[in-house]
């Protein structure tokens, strides 16, 4: 579990560096940078999903049928606050778009998420409090 949270922190640092290095206009002109942005966010979101589902299973919080239900079960059990649970549910929707409807994703939307990287850190902090 710690390894996942450490990987999430490493992803956040790389995404911050990406944000500081590249302007949106540069990314819009470079397919390679678009791929990097997509994958970096996808992996960070997937780590949140995998960690959430693992904690739900390990702590016997319920039997989720979807990734979003993992977040909801953690929220109901008090592992995640209201705001973060809502944000993470939206991220799961974005993950599904990245995986299944990749042609329709707007790079501007993804780039905007680079200003919300603290949500990933909040997740690690809130989950980490319950794993000690």
Of the pLDDT bands very low, low, confident and very high (cuts 50, 70, 90), residue 102 is low
Q: What is the mean pLDDT of the chain?
A: 94
CATH no. of 2-130: 1.20.120.580
Whether the Cβ atoms of residue 38 and residue 105 lie closer than 8 Å to each other: yes
Task: Specify whether the backbone of 62 is left (phi greater than 0), alpha (psi in -120 to 50) or beta.
Answer: left
Q: What is the pLDDT of residues 26-51, one digit of tens each?
A: 999 999 999 999 999 999 999 999 99
CA distance 114 to 1: 24
Q: Would you list the domain boundaries of the chain?
A: 2-130
């Amino acid at each position: 579990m710690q390894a996942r949270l450490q990987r999430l922190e490493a992803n956040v640092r790389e995404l911050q560096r990406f944000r500081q290095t590249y302007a949106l206009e540069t990314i819009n002109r470079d397919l390679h940078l678009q791929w990097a942005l997509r994958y970096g966010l996808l992996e960070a979101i997937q780590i949140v999903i995998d960690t959430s589902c693992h904690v739900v299973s390990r702590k016997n919080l319920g039997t989720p049928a979807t990734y979003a239900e993992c977040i909801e079960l953690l929220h109901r059990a008090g592992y995640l606050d209201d705001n973060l649970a809502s944000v993470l549910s939206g991220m799961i929707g974005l993950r599904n778009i990245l995986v299944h409807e990749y042609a329709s994703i707007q790079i501007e939307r993804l780039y905007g998420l680079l200003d919300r990287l603290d949500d990933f850190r909040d997740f690690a902090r809130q989950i980490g409090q319950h794993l000690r």
